[in-house]
Amino acid sequence: MTATVHQRPAFDVLAVSSRDRLGEGPWWDAARAELLWVDILGRRVRRATLDGAESKPLDTPSEVGFAVRDSDGRVLAGLSDGLAVSDPEVAAWNPIWAGTHDAATVRINDGKTDRHGRVWFGTMHRTEAEPAASLFSFGGGTATSRLTGITTSNGLGWSPDGSLFYYTDSAARTIWVFDCDPSGEISNRRVFVTDPEDQAPDGLTVDATGCVWGAKWNGGRVVRYSPEGRVDRVLELPVAKPTSVAFAGPGLDTLVVTSARMDDGDGELAGAVLLVDAGVSGLPEQPASVALL
- For the annotated catalytic residues, the residue numbers are 202
Per-residue DSSP letter, 170: G
Residue 240 contact among Ca ion, ligand BGC, none, beta carbon within 5 to 8 Å by kind:
none
Write the binding mask 25 to 44 for Ca ion: x where contact by CB under 5 A, - elsewhere: --------------------
Site for ligand BGC in 48-67 (CB under 6 A): none
What's the residue count for the chain? 293
C-alpha–C-alpha distance, residues 239 and 272, integer Å: 9
Q: In this complex, which beta carbon is closest to Ca ion, that of residue 48 or of residue 215?
A: 215
Residue 274 has phi, psi (to 5 degrees) of -100, 145
Query: 292, 116 in Cβ contact below 8 A?
Result: yes
C-alpha–C-alpha distance, residues 46 and 228, integer Å: 34
Q: Is 152 in the site for ligand BGC (CB under 6 A)?
A: yes
Binder to Ca ion among 202, 207, 232, 266 (CB under 5 A)? 202
Q: In this complex, which beta carbon is closest to ligand BGC, that of residue 175 or of residue 252?
A: 175
Query: 113, 68 in Cβ contact below 8 A?
Result: yes
Per-residue DSSP letter, 47: E
The one-letter amino acid at 50: L
Binder to ligand BGC among 80, 86, 109, 254 (CB under 6 A)? 109
In the complex, what is the shortest distance from the CB of residue 109 to ligand BGC, in angstroms, rounded to a whole number? 5
Q: Is 205 in the site for ligand BGC (CB under 6 A)?
A: no
Q: In this complex, which beta carbon is closest to ligand BGC, that of residue 24 or of residue 70?
A: 24
Residue 242 contact among Ca ion, ligand BGC, none, beta carbon within 5 to 8 Å by kind:
none
Q: Is 170 in the site for ligand BGC (CB under 6 A)?
A: yes
Q: In this complex, which beta carbon is closest to ligand BGC, that of residue 40 or of residue 270?
A: 40
Question: Could you tell me the CA-to-CA distances from 245 to 47, 133, 183, 235, 263 in Å, in that order?
Answer: 15, 23, 26, 12, 21
Q: Is 168 in the site for Ca ion (CB under 5 A)?
A: no
Q: Is 217 in the site for ligand BGC (CB under 6 A)?
A: yes
The one-letter amino acid at 128: E
In the complex, what is the shortest distance from the CB of residue 87 to ligand BGC, in angstroms, rounded to a whole number? 26
C-alpha–C-alpha distance, residues 226 and 158, integer Å: 14
Q: Which helix (H) or strand (E) holds 269?
A: none
Residue 72 contact among ligand BGC, Ca ion, none, beta carbon within 5 to 8 Å by kind:
none
Site for ligand BGC in 22-41 (CB under 6 A): 22, 24, 40
Count of C-beta atoms within a 10 Å radius of residue 163: 12
Q: Is 154 in the site for ligand BGC (CB under 6 A)?
A: yes
Residue 170 contact among Ca ion, ligand BGC, none, beta carbon within 5 to 8 Å by kind:
ligand BGC
- Contacts of 52 by beta carbon, 8 Å cutoff, 6+ apart: 14, 15, 16
Q: In this complex, which beta carbon is closest to ligand BGC, that of residue 81 or of residue 202?
A: 202
C-alpha–C-alpha distance, residues 1 and 244, integer Å: 28
C-alpha–C-alpha distance, residues 199 and 156, integer Å: 18
Nearest residue to 216 (alpha-carbon basis) of 191, 245, 253, 178? 245
Q: Is 259 in the site for Ca ion (CB under 5 A)?
A: no
Binding residues for ligand BGC, how many (CB under 6 A)? Answer: 13
Binding site for Ca ion (CB under 5 A): 110, 154, 202-203
Binding site for ligand BGC (CB under 6 A): 22, 24, 40, 109-110, 128, 152, 154, 170, 200, 202, 217, 243
